Structure 1
Amino acid sequence: MSIKKIYLIRHGETDFNLQGIVQGSGVNSSLNATGRKQAAHFFDKYKDIRFDKVYTSVLQRSIQSVQGFIDLGIPHEQYEGLNEICWGTREGTLITPEEDAYYYDLLSRWTAGGTSECIEGGESPELVAARQLPVIELLKSRPEEETVLICMHGRAMRILLCNLLNYPLSCMDQFEHQNLCLYELDYTGSMFAVKKYCDVAHLEELAK
């Protein structure tokens, strides 16, 4: 088969991102003005790519980030499997190391290999990885979709990259992310390879 190209992005900025408030799958926030500008810059940079399909989570910040491509008439599918991790009781709260030692200790335990442990009232990385698998199998089963755009969420994207690249979930924090960053991957039919890592060159104008 020909190489499938996957453009994987995180959604643009929301007010909760700006304020340091945990979102998760249970918070359906929308992009703020900066997030909309980030989405517009990404669209301007990549609008000439002939995407066969756009995949998003069901959360509006994900869909809004690629609305320009959807408006071009590119087929669009939404999957709960691409939703952000459920952060349980932490969703909608301001998280700092001083205010929530439990949260940061849990992240450390995940990095140490305890990826089956759920956050209080929410999901574990292993549960997120499991719900992503049907979407991954769908991507692999569609060779006619040679170039696809996927928009999702920070923690879930880290987990997806581990899934695609056969990394243990304890390594997920090695995959950095920013709002509207890009990972570009090639799929050969047997393996995935990263061609661009947390690329934000399309946002350079916003930083000036």
Structure 2
Amino acid sequence: MQILKNNTTLYLWLIHKTNKLKKTFYFIRHGQTDLNLKGIVQGRGVNSPLNDNGMKQAQAFYDAYKDVPFDKVYASTLLRTHQTVAPFTEKGIPMEILEGLDEISWGIYEGQEQTPDILSGFEKVVNSWRNNELDLAIDNGESPNTLVARQKEAVAHMLAQPNEEQILVCMHGRAMRIMLCHLTEVPVCKMDDFPHTNTALYKLEYQNNIFTIVDYYNTEHLANL
């Protein structure tokens, strides 16, 4: 099976032939960072920690969902996701880190303040994505299609685990929008149809090779912050 992991289609076909999978995924964005607050571009190459408010958001999410019997937590390689799910992992739920869950790389814009020039360039690229130009990337960054390819490998891996039925996945804003598109067969150019904020939840059920959103953009746990 290991040698098939790079061929997502064949790998998933074998899984579906040998297992009747039923899984529930809780996808959340990480908590707030100071760079979020300042409007500085964060991407795959910026490894910023949560700020105090981000820690409160993470705790609020934990308080709301601590009774869900999660079998596994998955996170990106970046610190802000690890800190967000720490209340779950600290009580013994195993965590696995997957590069496929990393934020999209914003290339030369990463770590930069949103000056008028950067905002203009950023908006031009995002508008191109809305026009289905999904191979376009900011210089030294990633395109949506490149991101989809590594996300599909991560999804294939998560689906392949036979004893994981309740799964918490912590990732990043733009990456989560793109993930939700291809999981639910929405064109990736419509990524902005999925709103996000720090620790917002999308709950998806997976069965018969279909992902279905059963809880859309839930932020109820943030009501008292």
Same fold flag (TM > 0.5): yes
Letter in 1 for 2:137: C
The reply to whether residue 104 of structure 1 matches residue 85 of structure 2 is: no
Q: What's the counterpart of residue 56 of structure 1? A: 75
Query: Is 2:109–2:118's contact at 8 Å kept on the other side of the alignment?
Result: no
The residue that corresponds to 1:176 in the other structure is 195
Superposition deviation, residue 60 in structure 1: 0.3
Match of 1:47 in 2: 66
Structure 1 spans left out of the alignment, 5+ residues: none
1:18-51 per-position Cα deviation (integer Å, ceiling 9, x unaligned)? 0000010100000000000000000011111100
Instruction: Tell me the secondary structure at the aligned position of residue 66 of structure 1.
Output: helix
Partner SS, residue 100 of structure 1: helix
CA-based RMSD of the aligned residues comes to 1.2
Out of 87, 99, 102, the residue aligned to residue 80 of structure 1 is 99
Counterparts of 1:50 and 1:87, CA distance in 2: 35
Q: TM-score, normalised by structure 1?
A: 0.96
CA distance in 2, matches of 1:204, 1:157: 22
Give distance in 2, aligned partners of 1:144 and 1:45: 24
The number of residue pairs the alignment matches comes to 206
Give the alignment of 1:13-24 within 5 angstroms. Answer: 13-24=32-43
Which amino acid letter does the alignment assign opposite residue 67 of structure 1?
A
Question: Between the two proteins, what is the percent identity of the paired residues?
Answer: 47
In the TM superposition, what is the alpha-carbon distance from 1:100 to its structure 2 partner?
A: 3.0
Partner of 1:200: 219
Change over 3 Å in CA distance of 1:177–1:97 after alignment to 2 = farther
AA at the equivalent of 1:184 = K
Equivalent pair of 1:39/1:180 in contact (CA under 8 Å): yes
In structure 2, stretches of 5+ residues that fail to align are: 1-19
Distance 1:135 1:169 in 2: 17
CA distance in 1: counterparts of 2:144 and 2:118, whole angstroms: 23
Match of 2:132 in 1: 113
What is the CA deviation profile of residues 70-93 of structure 1, one whole-angstrom value per residue up to 9, with x for unaligned ones?
A: 011111100111100000010011
Query: What is the CA distance between 1:166 and its match in structure 2?
Result: 1.6
Match of 2:176 in 1: 157
Residue 141 in 1 paired to residue 141 in 2? no
SS of residue in 2 equivalent to 1:37: helix
Q: Normalised by the size of structure 2, how large is the TM-score? A: 0.88
Deviation string 1:77-120 (CA, Å, 9 cap, x unpaired) is 00111100000010011225565311101100000100111111
Name the structure 1 match of 2:52: 33
2:196 maps to a residue whose letter is H
> Alpha-carbon deviation of 1:149?
0.1
Deviations 1:153-206 (A, max 9, x none): 001111111121122210111111000100000001310000111110011010
